Amino acid sequence: MRKDSRLIVVANRLPVQRVGRGSSARWERSSGGLVTAMSPILRRHAGVWIGWTGNAGRAPAPFTHERLMIRPIGLSEREVHDYYQGFCNRTIWPLFHDALRPPEFQRDRWDCYIEINRRFARAAARSARRGDIIWVHDYQLLLAPRMIRELRRDIKIGFFLHIPFPPEELFAWLPWRQAVVRGLLGADLVGFQTFSDAQNFSRAARRYAPAEGTDTEITCENRRIRINAFPISIDFRDFERRANQSAVVQRARQIRQRIGPERRIMLAVDRLDYTKGIESRLRAFEDLLERKLIRVEDCVLIQIAVPSRENVTEYQEMRMRIEQTVGRINGEFSQPGHVAVHYFRRSVTPDDLSAYYRAADVMLVTPLRDGMNLVAKEYVATRTDYSGVLVLSEFAGAARELRRALLVNPHDIQGVAATILQALRLPRDEARKRMMILRMIVRRHDVYDWAEKFLEALER
């Protein structure tokens, strides 16, 4: 990026959140992955961040936080309902994740989605000076690139999709598919997690817009649009450093001690989302106990499940089913002093998360569909002594890079069970070889590399 140009990030959520009440209320940096990814670039270049505060109501006035200009976008109650909970989370999210739940197609929610995208686009266009770069993020803002382009022909616009882009047959369901494709084609560069997502999009573009070209370059209305894969990553060194802090080492030791030092720990960490495959993973674990291939005296499953989208019915139903399954497994198989599944429905601090990663002999990352999955990469970064085994779903974007994990089809419960068993029995040398390669890959392709490559490509 040119030294004097600024980066304008447009994302559904702001990188800060309001904490405290009354006179002690203040803005604090939130801990999300996107904030971490963007922060080194934003330190080098002055920047503006446009996003929603996360609460219904009028937008606070723009302000500066740690040298970053913050421009909050306001959403009314109805808009939160129709745009965020409605179109984003009940149409695009399920449709783009292999329609794991039936997507809902409602005209008024779509109208609201257009309106909110326009609100973000106007704010972006107004904030940009000549020479600045605008980087729009994710599925909440698929229409914004074109809307910004209509207002500012002189600005470079990049777009990155954090979730998968569906194959042709599924994308075709969307009653507003043309508008979505054209919305994205307003950008100069459209980035995806994997090459097959990129390919799915370029095919959709050629089908639903007056566009022609290849999988990586398209011409539409006399503009050249580049399309490519930029697999997102983590701050590898930061995870490595945290893993070796004495408080974390102590905490990991304490977790092992409490679980029982002789037991093998299997860990899973997910948002409570139906895409993450929590139910099938529990069923695979149950299957192993039922067939007496494992015993609670020898191993345990810890499931950290972070509450998410709790006012959407599908999420409430899924939570109930998961909790029933955990109850059933524990009722059936736990012994005094040996609980089969430890289920924590809460989020833990970054230090605790690191301690759990450190304590876990086997990490189970088995989503039914996932754009990337950072948990898999975080586990790898934490294993500084090269121990530990990663079981990873073929349907997570991360599987394209982390080929040396034990890959599974999460729909095949018996297959997952067999792979868990393989992970528990993997000879130490073999596990170490695999982990060395996994660590090398994530170290080399960290989040800084991701952001740099995207911005470099955008400027080309």
370 is catalytic: yes
Q: How far apart are the first and last CA of the chain?
A: 10
- Minimum distance, C-beta of residue 13 to ligand GDG, in the bound complex (Å): 12
- DSSP string of 331-385, one letter each residue: HHH-BTTB-SEEEE-S---HHHHHHHHHH-SEEEE--SSBS--HHHHHHHHH-TT
Angle between helices 144-151 and 177-184 (to 10 degrees): 60
Task: Closer to ligand GDG by CB, 188 or 378: give it.
Answer: 378
Catalytic residue, candidates 273, 370, 445, 446: 370
CB atoms within 10 A of CB 264: 17
Q: Are 191 and 230 in contact (CB under 8 A)?
A: yes
- Minimum distance, C-beta of residue 74 to ligand GDG, in the bound complex (Å): 24
Which residue is it, tokens 């326009």?
118
Task: Closer to ligand GDG by CB, 179 or 365: give it.
Answer: 365
Catalytic residue, candidates 162, 338, 342, 411: 162
Half-sphere exposure of residue 240, counting CA atoms within 13 Å on the CB side? Answer: 13
Phi, psi of 372 (to 5 degrees): -130, -70
Amino acid at 151: L
Q: E strand or H helix at 285, and its extent?
A: helix 278-290
Task: Closer to ligand GDG by CB, 54 or 350: give it.
Answer: 350
Task: Closer to ligand GDG by CB, 110 or 230: give it.
Answer: 230
CB atoms within 10 A of CB 292: 7
- Minimum distance, C-beta of residue 352 to ligand GDG, in the bound complex (Å): 7
- Minimum distance, C-beta of residue 88 to ligand GDG, in the bound complex (Å): 13
For the chain, how big is the Rg over CA atoms in Å? 23
- Minimum distance, C-beta of residue 399 to ligand GDG, in the bound complex (Å): 11
Task: Closer to ligand GDG by CB, 370 or 446: give it.
Answer: 370
- Copy the structure tokens of residue 299: 């191993």
Counting beta carbons within 10 angstroms of the beta carbon of residue 430, is it exposed (0 to 12), middle (13 to 18) or buried (19 or more)? Answer: exposed
Q: Are 307 and 323 in contact (CB under 8 A)?
A: no
Contact positions vs ligand GDG (CB under 6 A): 31, 33, 162-163, 232, 269, 271, 304, 306, 347-350, 353, 370-375, 378
Could you tell me how many residues make up the chain? 460
Q: Are 158 and 135 in contact (CB under 8 A)?
A: yes
Counting beta carbons within 10 angstroms of the beta carbon of residue 337, is it exposed (0 to 12), middle (13 to 18) or buried (19 or more)? Answer: exposed
Question: Which SS3 state, helix, strand or coil, does residue 322 take?
Answer: helix
Angle between helices 447-459 and 33-44 (to 10 degrees): 60
- Minimum distance, C-beta of residue 22 to ligand GDG, in the bound complex (Å): 27
Task: Closer to ligand GDG by CB, 213 or 350: give it.
Answer: 350
CA distance 5 to 24: 35
Task: Closer to ligand GDG by CB, 9 or 218: give it.
Answer: 9
CB atoms within 10 A of CB 386: 14
Task: Closer to ligand GDG by CB, 30 or 219: give it.
Answer: 30
- Minimum distance, C-beta of residue 374 to ligand GDG, in the bound complex (Å): 4
Q: Which residues pair with 85 in a beta bridge?
A: none
CB atoms within 10 A of CB 414: 12
- Minimum distance, C-beta of residue 289 to ligand GDG, in the bound complex (Å): 25
Task: List all residues 6 or more positions away from 182 whose beta carbon is below 8 Å from its beta carbon.
Answer: 146, 208, 209, 220
- Minimum distance, C-beta of residue 180 to ligand GDG, in the bound complex (Å): 18
Task: Closer to ligand GDG by CB, 296 or 304: give it.
Answer: 304
Residues with active-site annotation: 162, 370
